[in-house]
Amino acid sequence: MEPRLDRPKEAIDRLFEAAVAARAHAYAPYSRFAVGAAIRTASGAVFAGANIENAAYPVGLCAEAAAIAAMVVAGEREIAEILILAEGGEPIMPCGACRQRLFEFATPETMIHSAGPAGVALSLTLAELLPHAFGRQSLAP
Ligand code: THU
C-alpha cells in the first residue's frame, strides 16, 4: 500500500526526527528491537517515547505507551497523528494493546505513520488498524 502523506513534509519530518531521537534511548536488551514513537497533538506539540523492556518480560512498555504517557503528563489529550519507527523487515505496526491505548486519545481518522530508517513506509487510519473499537462510547451512561 502506498504511503498516504497528505501532511506537509515538514510536519512528518519533525515527528520522524523526534522518533529517531527517542528510539536512540530505547531500553530493549531482551528483544534488541528498538522502537521510537512521536505524537503530534492538536496543539501542535510533539511528544516522543521509546520502548522500555523489563527482565519480567510482560512488564515491558511499548514506545507508543511511553509517548502517550509523556503527552498526558504534559496536560495534553488529543493525538492528531503518530509516527512509529523501527528497523525491521516489515513496516512496524502498533500492537493490539497500543491500538486500544491510541483509541483513547485519538479518533478513527487519526493517521498512524509507520517508518523505517528511510522514512515513512505506510500510513493508515486508526479505524483501519482497530475497527469497531471499544471506547468510552461503549460504556453505559
Ligand atoms: N514494540 C513497541 O514498542 N511498539 C510496537 O508497536 C511493537 C513492539 C516493542 C515491544 C518490545 O519491547 C519490542 O518492541 C519487541 O516486541
Full strand arrangement of the beta sheet holding 111-116: 46-50, 36-41, 79-85, 111-116, 119-125
Residue 132 has pLDDT above 50, yes or no: yes
Ligand 1 centre to CA of 26 (Å) is 10
111-116/119-125 β-pairing = antiparallel
Beta bridge partner(s), residue 83 = 38, 113
Question: Comparing C-alpha atoms, which of 101, 122, 115, 121 is closest to residue 22?
Answer: 115
Ligand 1 centre to CA of 32 (Å) is 10
Active site includes 10? no
Reported as a pLDDT band with limits 50, 70 and 90, residue 1 is very low
Residue 22 has pLDDT above 70, yes or no: yes
| Cα end-to-end span (Å), the chain | 39
Euclidean distance between CA atoms 105 and 76, whole angstroms: 9
User: Within 6 Å (CB) of ligand 1, which residues are found?
Assistant: 28, 31, 33, 35, 51, 53, 60, 62-64, 84, 92, 94-95, 98
Ligand 1 centre to CA of 30 (Å) is 11
Catalytic residue among 53, 64, 87, 128: 64
Domains detected in the chain: 9-138 (3.40.140.10)
Phi-psi category of residue 74: left, alpha or beta, with phi > 0 → left and psi -120 to 50 → alpha: alpha
SS3 content of the chain, % helix, strand, coil (to 5): 35, 25, 45
User: Over the stretch 89-116, which tens digit does the pLDDT of each residue have?
Assistant: 899 999 999 999 999 999 999 999 999 9
pTM over 0.85: yes
Contact predicate 49/70, CB 8 Å: yes
* Mutation probe of ligand 1 site: the residue of 84, 87, 95 with most atoms within 8 A of C-beta: 95
